[in-house]
Every structure is written in structure tokens, then in C-alpha cells.
Structure 1
Amino acid sequence: MSKMYRNPSAGSLNTNESFISENKKSDIVLPNQSDNIAHIAVDIGGSLAKVVWFSKQSQGGRLSFSKFETAKIDQCIGFLQGLLTERGDTPVRIKATGGGSHKYYDLFREKLGVAVQKEDEMECLIYGLNFLVRQIAYEVFTYDERRPEPMQYENNSQELFPYMLVNIGSGVSIIKVTSDETYERISGTSLGGGTLWGLLGLLTDAKDYDEMLAMSKLGDNKNVDMLVGDIYGGDYSKIGLKSTTIASSFGKVIKVPPAERKSKFAQEDISASLLYLVSNNIGQIAYLNAQAHGIQRIYFSGFFISGHPITMNTLSYAIAFWSKGKIKAQFLRHEGYLGAVGAFLRDPPTYARLNSFTENFSSIEKNIITAVGSLEEYPTELKQFPLLLDPKSYNPDTTVLTERHLHSYWIDLLDANLKSLVDIATEKNEDALARAEMFEKMYRHHLSELKTNPNAYGTLSVRSLLNLREQCLREMGFNDIFSKIKQKENSQALFGFSLLTSSLDKLSGEALVDELISNILAGNMYDWGAADIQEMIKKGELDFKVAQSKIGYDPKFYNISKFRERLLTEPPYKKCMIFVDNSGADLIFGILPFVRYLVSRGTEVVIAANEQPSVNDITVGELGDILEQISKIDLIIEKAYKSELLTFVSTGNASPCIDLDRVSEEVVSACTDVDLVIIEGMGRAIHTNYYAKLSVDTVKVAVFKNPQVAAELGAKMYDALFKYEEAPPY
């Protein structure tokens, strides 16, 4: 018998966390955290102490992030004491790295009352970077203000080694890394973040580093620095220097009488000049070391950067200038947390499933242009779908919302649909009202952030916006707001299943295949994630026949002739994997009759469903219950189910969309001998994977239920998509 899966319960954040952290607390209090703190790692630098902590949940867990000024180490210790009070009976391990792990070792042991294990600083940096670059989507980006979109994310699938890590803390360390285990510190400089912070502390009234960076953003270094143009009256083209190139940092100060200097130069201009001075120096030293060691990939990290555009642009310009455009400076969203993450990963008994972490943005720590979410450990390891034809070029997203009108359209659409979700979540449940209001406020805040800075959380897409909505719902304790709706629709569809199959059994050949596909499309109309459909269902205007009548059959998108011919004239497929979509009529009237047809011809069928709920999508636990019930009323399904000709697996997914770069081990194992893949539903086959190429025969089937996506692809609302792609010849 197929393995039965149950939905994991949703976790929630600590009550002392806010969903937006910008060195201040939100007025939203999240649900209490009932999970235990199991593991804490601290990276204590000369300027900042970075903390990551892992809290166990019923299945998997969560890695969260925070930071403190090292000068206020008591605040960090107080925060850790708060975490330790939540551990329950769970023994807690604290790993420490960075120079402060030695300096404050005795203080930590005395105040916290637990063992503290020190880890090598450089080793932790490398472990942290390798993990984040390989496993976290949209971790690496480049920055160049000359581009229309200065910030661009890099493909993480490239070969990682060798690379050079320029870690900019109080000072700068430059590390050459040639494998997971081999690295060496090849250079460094004492002119780092501490230099900038210290000099700005002397020369300005800024009280902390963030204020200093904000001040530099308002300044103009040309009022302080001597430029090439100031000396030559223009470019010095013979040696490739533009008039705007800095010839001498703070060079204009010497031209002003000493008594006038303090009043002559604005603090903002001084801040900008110092930032350029330190950044240019680091960039040039980094390039010279890369050149000396023959390295083409340079990563910059450390809280000195803090997502500051001037800093990143200066480092990028320096690397591009000295390498003549052959090398790009690469930055990391988790730039300041490499050491702390590495210390966390150095815990030997656990965390073998490193591929199981995904990023949850419901609660974020935000810098100027990027954000860091918590990392959630899924209960299954997530791997790349083995049937992708060209894994390195795979991109799940059909539409990337780079243009302002596109991301504004989707953000406004999802914002407008919030009230409907809140109504569903709070129906006849006063206890849920406060949490629903918090969800609405949380998600709307994220939408507002993304409207201003669409790339803050990674490349913005329909998938990322829908994933974020589901994360926010779960964060507020709404694990499955459509549970009652799904139960009702499943019961109604189960009641009519035998009548439907009886009518199908009277058909054969082309008529049967055509009717089965027509039913799949009609079933896919029952999608509570589509605003127009949701209104029709609420008003009672949608039944199965109405659904069938609304579908358009444009031959550009609907052409079943080759697939029909393949089914009717060639030997049956050996094994079919179906990624399913919605519960109710979609699954029971659409997918399962087609499954019944396949297994009756001897095709083994594996149905892949969500691990956790999203909108009204069927989950793997619900799917098991439905198959059990249908087995009691249908002999063909019963025989296939009991003989394991029909099985089901979890995708490891909790989204209306699916990224085939990250599917469960069960899906990967079940791919053996698969020669047909069916991807069903608007989220899975249109928003994502519309352009995906597989190494086996593939069917993408759905109904266009969003006008923007339909128009972009040349379709109309409610047009059918039936896209049959034959396996490439070998």
C-alpha cells in the first residue's frame, strides 16, 4: 500500500521577533512559539555580533537571524538568555566564532550557564558561503548603477571553485578557496569597516553605523575629493582616466584654510568621501590578489557592505576597471551572516540534509536594498527533478516581473484579494479575527516593500508573490484556510464519481480520450486562487457543465491530436508521474478518471501532491484519504491501488506553483522508468514550467485564469492549455 503522509503543523516565530526588522520593532506581535530552541551560533566580530538560532518544529525547523553591536555585547547576551528560556527540555548547543568568541568566552559561559564551543573563523566563513550559494535561491547578485536595473541575481548552479572571498568586517581578510575543505588566507588590510566607522565617528555626529551609511547616501564626494577633472580640466584619456575619477581622496581639504575646514565641508560629503576611499582601496587590493592567483570569481561579504548602493557600486567599478570588465564583483544577501551560518553547520550530529532548507520571507531583516528571511528546514531533502532536459538552464518562472507595470499589476491584484482571504480565514471564528488582521497587515507591508524595491527578496515573479502569501498565512497560524471548502468539494465530487465513470465507460477510442481531457480542463476551472473563479463559486454560478462551456479551444494552445494518437496507436506508457493541482472536481472529476484510464491499460501511475496546504490545492495527506475512499467504490482504482500500480508521493512543496529544482526525495526516487510527466494547473503549468523541457514525453494542461498571463502568452481568458511535448530523440 502507498505510504500515507500527514500535513506538518505550521510553526511560528518567536514573540520577540517582528516581521520587519530595521533596528526597530513592529507593532505586530506574532503567535507564540511553541517549538524548542535547539542550537545557537554566534559570530562575534570587532564591530558586530551576528546570531543565528535553530528552533525545532514538529517536522523540520527554522534558522533565524539577528545582529547586535559588539560594543553592546550585553544586549546580545540578554537576547541569547531570552532564547534559552524557550528551550524547554531540549539541550542547547552554542557555537561561537570570530575574534569575540575568544575575548568574550568566559563572559558567555558565566552569563548563559551553558557550554560554548569555539569554531575556527575562516573555516566557518567558507562553510557558510558554500552552503548559502549552493542552496538558497537568489543568494548571489551583482550591482552596477550603469544598468537600467542595477541589481541582478546570478545563477547559483555555476561551478563554485575556485573563488576568492573578500570578507569586510572591522578589517579585511582575503581568502582563496579551492574546494570545500581547502582554503588559505592570502591577504588582507586593516582599512575596513572599523576604519570607516571609526573615522566617521570622529568626523561626524552620526551615532551608529546605519546612520553613517544613511548620511553618506545624501553626500557628494566631489565637494571633498580632488578629481582628475580638477587637475586636468577634463578626462585624461591617454591613460584611460575619466574626469570624474578620484585623483586624491579628501584632496580638496588642503586648499581650504585650517580655520574654515570644519564649516566648509558638510558631514554628508565627508561620509561619502570616506566610503569611496575605503571601498576603492578594498576593491583594488581584491583585484590585485585575484590577478596574482588566477581567480575569476570574487565574493564580497561582511556588514561593511550592508546592501549599500554606493559601497557595492564602488567595489563593482573597481573590479570591472582593473580587470577590464572580465571579472564581476559578486555580493550575497546574507553577507554578514556567513560565519554564524558556518558555525551552525559545523555541528556534527545533525543537519546532514542541507538541501532541505528554503527561505521564508514572512519575517525579514532588511537592509537598504535586500532582505534576509529565515531559513526553513523541510521534513524531506529537496533535490532537482532528474527528468529536466537541461538542468543548468532551467528557470521555473514563466513571467519575471521586472517591468514596473507588471509588478504593479500583480501586487495590486494580490492586495485587492486580501479581503477575500481574510473573510475565508475568519468565517464564523472570532478567535481568528486578530490573527487574520495581522496576516493582512503583514502581507500588505511586504507588497508595499516589493512595489518600491521589487528585487529585495530575489527576482520577483508570480511564484514568489504567491509563495510569500502562503508563508504569511502559515506564520499567523492559518495552515489551511480552505480546509472546510476542500472537504465540502471533495465530498460532492466523490458522490458523483461513479456516475461520471459509468458514462465514460460507454465511450472508447478518440471519443474517450477527448472526453477525459475535456474533464481535466473543466475540473481545473475550480481554482480558488483565481479571483474571477472564486467569485463565480461563491455566487453558485459554476458547475461542471458551466465550466466546460466557458473553456476556449484555441489551436495555438490546445492540440491533443499527437497525444491522442500516441495513446491509441502505440504501446501504453510504462510509468506516468502527474503533478496535480486543486482538490474537489479538479482531482476527482478531472485527474482521477484519466488515472483510471492509464492504469486500466497497464501504465504505472504516481501522483505527486503538495506536502502542505496552499489555496485549495490537494495535499498528499488528503490525496491518500480520497484514494482510500474511491477504492471502496471503483474496482479499477481499488485493484491498481492495492497492487501499487497506483501510488502517490509528496512533492515537498507548499505552494500553488512548483520549482522543479527543489522537489522531494520521494519524487526523485519515483522517477525511475517514468516515460510520461503530466503537469497540471495554472500555477504549475503556466505561471511556472510553461517553458520547461523534460527528457521524457510531457503534457502541460491547465486553463488560463488570469488576463495578464493569458495576454502575455497570446491567449484569452479561459482558453485551454494542452501542450504535448515529445521526448527529444537520443
Structure 2
Amino acid sequence: MSSRFSFNATDAHIIELSKYRQIAFPQNQRRPVQIGIDIGGSLAKVVWYSQNKNSYAATGGRLNFTKFETENIEKCIEFLKEIIKKDNNENGSMSKRILKATGGGAHKFNKLLNDELNVIVETEDEMECLIIGLNFLVHKIPYEVFTYSETEAEPMVFEEKVIDEEELYPYILVNIGSGVSIIKVTENGKFERIGGSSLGGGTLWGLLSLVTNAQTFDEMLELSKKGHNENVDMLVGDIYGGDYSKIGLKNTAIASSCGKIFRKKPEDRKKVKEEDISRSLLYMISNNLSQIAYLMAQLHQVKRIYFGGCFIRGHPVIMNSLSFGIRFWSKGTIKALFLRHEGYLGALGAFLKHHGNIQEQELLGFSENFTKAERINTTAVNAVGLIDIVPKLTYFPLISSDEYHPDTFDLTNPELQKYWIDTFDKNLHKMVDMALTWQSTHYVNNIENTKIFEDIYRKHLQVLRREPNAYGPLSVRSLLILREQCLHEMGFGDIFEHVKQEEKESALETLPNLLKKIDALPEYEKLGVLIDNVLAGNMFDWGANEVHNMLQKGELNFDSAKTKVKKSEKYFNLNEFRERLDSGPQHKRAVIFVDNSGADIVLGIIPFARYLLNRGTEVILAANTHPCVNDVTYTDLLEIIEKVCTFDDIINDAYNKFGRLMIHETGSGSPCLDLRNINCDLANVCESVDLVIIEGMGRAMHTNFHAKFICDSLKLAVFKNASVAKTLGGNMYDGICLFERGETSLGGIRAKARRSTFSEILETGRFSFSC
């Protein structure tokens, strides 16, 4: 990354491959816009770019989000001054920059912004920016869109995949700000305002300002959360004495908002609670808007209705009310759709507005980072994450089904949620100890950063205890990623570096004799021994609590690990794999997604890879790009292979002479493996792979346990967590050797089509981006 504000990545080949692609970001060769602002009647929303100076973080920059009340626009301007000043100081640039602004306030405060910030303010059309922002998020961010209903066992349900253009259009956006605009979008860049309402967020804000003592909109929303509207509203049951079942109205349905007030005596009206009034008025606005939205959808024959705007703010009562209205009027055929970055559509769209020739722009990937995520307000069930630049990630081409889901456990069960959050909380002190050791070996003495890391991650866990889906669907993978993000944010790099170094050196000393023993075995015995070694090596996992304790006490070595690991009765079909090797066509190329450093990679994987090479199969070893726990990284693996080449001719010839052994990075920095986000270069060389091997509990159990491939696959791992073992029907320290033949279903055909598309794009270099 350039030291100036630039998203340029010279060698990045970012491909728009499929619906599962992460955010693609347009980039100018010239200095692009750094700040986008949407100034509405009630709130000013800001999206801005900042550079990440932390050398251990996975990215070079990020998009940030914040908001201010428009009546305090001076605070917003002071904030923008600090951003500009900081960027000028860091990058030595004093050039007059462009600020992209939208919303009514972009015109109203245009001169003020120009004068106070010394910038060039370029105003952009409000509706266009909203649509650009929404399309960007919906097309590119996984788990951005969700539904909400308090009547469901799981109120917050996320759309599993990002939406492609064919599925997206047409749709309606109901943008609820101070007022309401309803926009129909029929295709990319084609939209029209088809309606609206003057009864919006500003209406609720104004009315509650008159009848309550709340000073801010967030305080008003907090009041409504505690209120009981039946004390104020006239319900169907008040009129009928029960349900009006003939037309589908329950006794709790509102017949008349605030309808009970006039019946009260004057002295009793003064006793009505602010909380109850807040709830009633919130329902009044929400129910009105849901009905208008549905009628517009019916009139224009649209099935997708998105709700956006800072009125919603992740407030459960608002979302439930809107959802109920859409569900009721559509008789369950349409659902209200919400977005986690709902309030920032316009500001994000303004930021994304390109200038110059779009053909000159490059593409980069983006990934969400929740380290500094903030809940929109105290009532919100979701939080807004930062967006980090992540180059060169794409969809793994060998997955057989469009319905790929990385996580084996979604943690929708409250007991599982509590178990895993408790587990990460209890183990946090071990990560702190490792961070302190890392500091000492790098001559860093900053105990404060270690404490901050511990506090930050524990606070996130507390948020997730209250709102498990605040950062998207809760999973073991998301908890692990969040922990690594927090570590890197505080400047901690490879905190298990010293452990990996010791284990690597010990394993490399043992490897020559181990290879001699394996070579001396009868051919029919080799595969079984090699698989046993892989599973024994996989025991050396400092991320597993029970194993961590054994390793710390020196109670585990390679020989004792082999005796500890038992073969799973349910998931061990080595004979099927052996039969495939003996009787099927020779595998031409295999990719092995490797796990831990030390004994795992050196004594387990390398001899197994060597065996495949001897059989005539090319081998790709795929390792993490960024450090996490004691996983071997791409850089680690290069060093290990170079050392093995000094004493083993088979590895040396395959790696240095014939290129039959290849080392690639996955693009990941997690113990888990999300095959929707794989390094583009790795995806390219895997085009011709006909055997996928995934190793490790994080990669083959927490994730990808149910993943299907169009080619043969082998999953190797050891149960090192009692809950995982119990859930999947295994026992602690059972080793799995799960072989599956390649899929031949329609899903496989679709995946093959994706592979062809991928190759074609790489060969032609035809990239495209559309807002």
C-alpha cells in the first residue's frame, strides 16, 4: 500500500467471480475521495478512509463510520478537521481535497463546509447515493442483510449469501430519515422515487420531544423499549373483547393509536407514562410506513423491500413492527429486509462515487472488522463494523454447491452460545500470557497494550452475550476471527512465534529418521502410518484448551500423541481412500490446507505430501497468510521447506527442480477456513486440482465438515474439544479420516461452469465494476 491515501495494489488481480465475492472497491490512479458525508434533517453521517499503520494487521487501510446530530453540525465539522489534519500530518500532504456530500444539508451547509474545512465540496444526488450504497453492501458484504421478527425462535436471521444482480432487481428501498422516500430500483443505475411520506423519523422525534423529557432520539428509543403501548393504544380486544379472527386480527392488534387517551379523565392523562407514549407513537409511525411500503410493492409488483435510514438504528421494536406489517399485509409472502449499515447508505454512496474514467480503476477486496465496532445505540441488536482492505480474495473453484456454508455450528442454540463465549472468556488469559512473552522476545515493554487487548475482547464477548448476532451470525469462526483482529489491532503479531520456533527445530531434527523409517516400510503399510502421523501431529494445537495445558506442562510429544489419538468409529474410512488410490485414476494435483506448525506440518503433512509426490501427484501446500495461534504461515512454510530440501532429495527435486511441490498462501488469518474468501493465486492453481485435503479441527471440524467438492476430498483432524466431539458424535482425541469421492450432481456442474469463467477472466484480464 502507498503511504498516501491510495488503494493501489500493483500485482493485485481482483476478480469479480461470483455472487460470493467479497466487497469489490473502485480505485483511481489519482488521489481518490477520502470522505463521504450525508447530511440529513436529523443526522449527519460520515464515511471516511484511514490508513492502518500497524504492520501486523492484515490490511493497509479501512473505511470508518460515525454520525452526528445535524443541529450540532459544528461538532461534525470539528471532527472532519481532525481527520484532515491527521491525514496531512501522516502523509505530508497539504493538497486541497474533495469532500463528497449528499443529502439536503450538502446544499444547506455547502459554504460552511468549504470555508471551515478548506475543501472542495462536490454535492451528489441523494437518491443515487442511497442506491449506490445499498447495491454495494448487498452485492458484496456477506451477512449484511437480515430479517427480524420477535415471534420467531431466532428473531434475527441473516441472508447467507450476497445477492447477484439477477436476484436483486427489482427492489424497493424505503429510506426512513426525517421524512420518508420510497425508491424503486429496476436495474443497476436505473431508479425512480415512487412515493414517500412526511411521517418519518423527524415526526417521531418531534412528537416525543413535546410529550417526553428525552433529549436525544436514542433516549426516546430507550424509553419506547420499556413502554407498554396497550396503556395508550386502543386495541382490537378493547373493541371486540377478543380476536377479530374473520379478518385475521388478534386482540393485541392496534385499532387506534393513542385511542385510549381521550377516554381518560384530564387528571389521569397527566399520569400516562412517557415510556408508553413512546411505544405507541413508534408503532404508529412504523405501522403506517409498513403499510405504505407494501402497497407500493404491490402496485409495482416488487418482492424485495429494503428498509434503511437512521430511524431504524437496529431498534428491535421498530424492526419487529415493520416486519409484522409487511408480513401481515402480504400474508407472509414478503419479508422486510434490513441492513446492518442501514444509516450509512447515502454517505457510503457518496464516498463510492467515482470520478475519472472507470476503466482506469482497479479492484480490491474488503472485509469487515469488528474490533472497534459500536452498537448504533443502546437499544440496537446489531453493530456497525469497520471495513478493512483485503486484497486478492475470491471463491474457491472446487466447491460443488452454491449453498456452501463454512460453519459447522451456527451457535443459534443459547446453551451453545453460552458455552463457546464462556470458553473464549476463560482461555483469554492464555492469549494474554503469550502476548506478554511475545513482547519480551521482541524487546517491547507495553503491558498496557496487553491489558487493552484483554479488555477489548472481553467487552466484545459481553456484547455477544446480550446480542449474539450483533456482528453477524455467531459462530466459532467469528469468535476466533474477532480475537485475532483484537490482537493485531493492539500491535501484536505472531504471539506463538517462540513456541513455533522451538517445535519446528525439534521436528526438523526428527524428520530425517522418520522419513527413513517410512521408506523402509512395505508399500501397503505406508499410507496407514502416514495418516496416523498426520493425526498425531495435529494434536500439537495450542488453540485447543486441553492440549494447550498438556503442551505447556511438557506432557505431550510425538510418540505419546500417537498413542493418545484413537480412530473414530464414525468418521474413519481410510480403506476407501486407499482403494481410490489403488484402483482409481492417478490424482494429478492435490491441495492440502495445512494447520499447525512444528510436528504437525513437519512430521505429519510433509511426509504425507512426499508420499503423494512419489505416486506422481503434484502437491500444493496452502498455509495462512497471517499469523494466528500456532498455525503455520506461508512465510513459516517457505523456511521449513527450504530446510527440508537440504536433506531430502525427493522434496528438493519436487520443489526446486520440477515445480511439482508448490507453496501458496490462503489469504486467511484464522484457524478456520472460509472457502468463499481464498487468495486469487491459490484459486487459480487449484483449477486443475482433483484431490482436496483439509487438515485440522478449525478447518475440517469447526468449518467445512459438511463441505462438498466436485473432486475427491479428504478431511483429517482430531477432536480436541468435548463439545465438538459430542455434537458430531465422536469422542475426545478421536481422529477422523473422512474421504469422499467427487460430486457429480448439478451443483458440481455449476461449480465447473464457475471454474471455466474464472480461467477465462484470468486469461483475458477483463475486469468490471459497477456501482
After TM superposition, is the score higher than 0.5?
A: yes
In structure 2, the partner of 1:242 is 250
The answer to which of 589-598 and 714-723 deviates more is 589-598
2:667 to 632, 649, 652: 652
1:442 alignment partner, SS class: helix
Do structure 1's residue 384 and structure 2's residue 374 form an aligned pair? no
The offset of 1:50, in angstroms, is: 0.8
* Residue identity matched to 2:40: G
The offset of 1:354, in angstroms, is: 6.0
Do structure 1's residue 89 and structure 2's residue 89 form an aligned pair? no
Do structure 1's residue 75 and structure 2's residue 75 form an aligned pair? yes
**Rounded Cα–Cα distance in structure 1 between residues aligned with 2:671 and 2:32:** 30
**Rounded Cα–Cα distance in structure 2 between residues aligned with 1:581 and 1:685:** 10
In structure 2, the partner of 1:153 is 158
1:135-154 C-alpha deviation (Å, 9 max, x unpaired): 22221111111112222212
**Rounded Cα–Cα distance in structure 1 between residues aligned with 2:497 and 2:275:** 55
The answer to which of 177-186 and 83-92 deviates more is 83-92
**Rounded Cα–Cα distance in structure 2 between residues aligned with 1:648 and 1:345:** 36
Do structure 1's residue 277 and structure 2's residue 284 form an aligned pair? yes
2:41 to 26, 40, 46: 46
Do structure 1's residue 431 and structure 2's residue 445 form an aligned pair? yes
1:167 alignment partner, SS class: strand
In structure 1, the partner of 2:754 is none
1:30-59 C-alpha deviation (Å, 9 max, x unpaired): xxxxxx997111111111111111123475
1:672 to 670, 687, 696: 687
Contact 1:216/1:275 (CA < 8 Å) preserved in 2? yes
1:461 to 472, 475, 494: 475
1:303 to 307, 310, 326: 310
**Rounded Cα–Cα distance in structure 2 between residues aligned with 1:278 and 1:494:** 69
**Rounded Cα–Cα distance in structure 2 between residues aligned with 1:514 and 1:239:** 68
The offset of 1:359, in angstroms, is: 1.0
Do structure 1's residue 116 and structure 2's residue 121 form an aligned pair? yes
2:423 to 396, 413, 436: 413
Q: Using a 3 Å threshold, how does the CA distance of structure 1 residues 352 and 664 change in structure 2: closer, same or farther? A: farther
Structure 2 segments unaligned to the other structure (5+ residues): 4-30, 54-58, 746-771
Contact 2:366/2:391 (CA < 8 Å) preserved in 1? no
* Residue identity matched to 1:103: K
The offset of 1:602, in angstroms, is: 2.3
The offset of 1:569, in angstroms, is: 3.4
Matches within 5 A, 1:58-73: 59-73=59-73
Q: Using a 3 Å threshold, how does the CA distance of structure 1 residues 609 and 452 change in structure 2: closer, same or farther? A: same
Do structure 1's residue 395 and structure 2's residue 405 form an aligned pair? yes
In structure 2, the partner of 1:375 is 387
**Rounded Cα–Cα distance in structure 1 between residues aligned with 2:572 and 2:264:** 76
**Rounded Cα–Cα distance in structure 2 between residues aligned with 1:425 and 1:68:** 37
Contact 2:710/2:744 (CA < 8 Å) preserved in 1? no
The offset of 1:134, in angstroms, is: 2.4
Contact 2:568/2:734 (CA < 8 Å) preserved in 1? yes
Q: Using a 3 Å threshold, how does the CA distance of structure 1 residues 448 and 506 change in structure 2: closer, same or farther? A: same
The offset of 1:352, in angstroms, is: 5.9
The offset of 1:564, in angstroms, is: 1.2
Contact 2:624/2:668 (CA < 8 Å) preserved in 1? yes
The offset of 1:63, in angstroms, is: 1.0
The offset of 1:515, in angstroms, is: 1.3
2:703 to 680, 688, 693: 688
In structure 2, the partner of 1:227 is 235
In structure 2, the partner of 1:3 is none
In structure 2, the partner of 1:20 is none
* Residue identity matched to 1:46: G
**Rounded Cα–Cα distance in structure 2 between residues aligned with 1:586 and 1:507:** 21
Q: CA RMSD of the aligned region, Å? A: 2.0
In structure 2, the partner of 1:711 is 726
1:505 alignment partner, SS class: helix
1:251-274 C-alpha deviation (Å, 9 max, x unpaired): 2222245x4365142221111111
Contact 1:37/1:86 (CA < 8 Å) preserved in 2? no
1:389 alignment partner, SS class: coil
Matches within 5 A, 1:327-726: 327-348=334-355, 356-367=365-376, 368-380=380-392, 382-391=393-402, 393-427=403-437, 429=440, 431-642=445-656, 643-726=658-741
**Rounded Cα–Cα distance in structure 1 between residues aligned with 2:150 and 2:574:** 48
Q: Using a 3 Å threshold, how does the CA distance of structure 1 residues 220 and 355 change in structure 2: closer, same or farther? A: farther
The offset of 1:231, in angstroms, is: 2.5
* Residue identity matched to 1:389: S
Q: Using a 3 Å threshold, how does the CA distance of structure 1 residues 401 and 376 change in structure 2: closer, same or farther? A: same
Contact 2:173/2:307 (CA < 8 Å) preserved in 1? yes
The offset of 1:104, in angstroms, is: 1.1
* Residue identity matched to 2:391: P
The offset of 1:101, in angstroms, is: 1.2
Do structure 1's residue 205 and structure 2's residue 213 form an aligned pair? yes
In structure 2, the partner of 1:727 is 742
**Rounded Cα–Cα distance in structure 2 between residues aligned with 1:675 and 1:708:** 33
1:434-473 C-alpha deviation (Å, 9 max, x unpaired): 1111111111111111112211111111111111111111
The offset of 1:348, in angstroms, is: 4.4
Per the normalisation by structure 1, the TM-score is 0.92
Q: Using a 3 Å threshold, how does the CA distance of structure 1 residues 524 and 372 change in structure 2: closer, same or farther? A: same
In structure 2, the partner of 1:163 is 171
**Rounded Cα–Cα distance in structure 2 between residues aligned with 1:593 and 1:417:** 33
Q: Using a 3 Å threshold, how does the CA distance of structure 1 residues 726 and 376 change in structure 2: closer, same or farther? A: same
* Residue identity matched to 2:596: N
The offset of 1:229, in angstroms, is: 2.4
**Rounded Cα–Cα distance in structure 2 between residues aligned with 1:510 and 1:157:** 47
The offset of 1:482, in angstroms, is: 0.8
**Rounded Cα–Cα distance in structure 1 between residues aligned with 2:686 and 2:128:** 37
The offset of 1:523, in angstroms, is: 0.8
Q: Using a 3 Å threshold, how does the CA distance of structure 1 residues 109 and 440 change in structure 2: closer, same or farther? A: same
1:431 alignment partner, SS class: coil
* Residue identity matched to 1:362: T
Q: Using a 3 Å threshold, how does the CA distance of structure 1 residues 646 and 620 change in structure 2: closer, same or farther? A: same
**Rounded Cα–Cα distance in structure 2 between residues aligned with 1:616 and 1:707:** 21
1:374-418 C-alpha deviation (Å, 9 max, x unpaired): 1111132x2211111112x11111112111211111111111111
1:171-228 C-alpha deviation (Å, 9 max, x unpaired): 1111111222211111111111011111111121110000011111122222222222
**Rounded Cα–Cα distance in structure 2 between residues aligned with 1:613 and 1:235:** 60
1:693 alignment partner, SS class: coil
Contact 1:60/1:379 (CA < 8 Å) preserved in 2? no
In structure 2, the partner of 1:130 is 135
1:84-124 C-alpha deviation (Å, 9 max, x unpaired): 12212256542211111111111111111122222221121
Structure 1 segments unaligned to the other structure (5+ residues): 1-5, 9-35
* Residue identity matched to 1:40: I
1:43 alignment partner, SS class: strand
1:85 alignment partner, SS class: helix
**Rounded Cα–Cα distance in structure 2 between residues aligned with 1:432 and 1:548:** 40
Contact 2:535/2:604 (CA < 8 Å) preserved in 1? yes
In structure 1, the partner of 2:21 is none
* Residue identity matched to 1:360: N
Per the normalisation by structure 2, the TM-score is 0.87
1:557 alignment partner, SS class: strand
How many residues are matched?
694
Identity of aligned residues (%): 54
In structure 1, the partner of 2:198 is 190
* Residue identity matched to 1:378: V
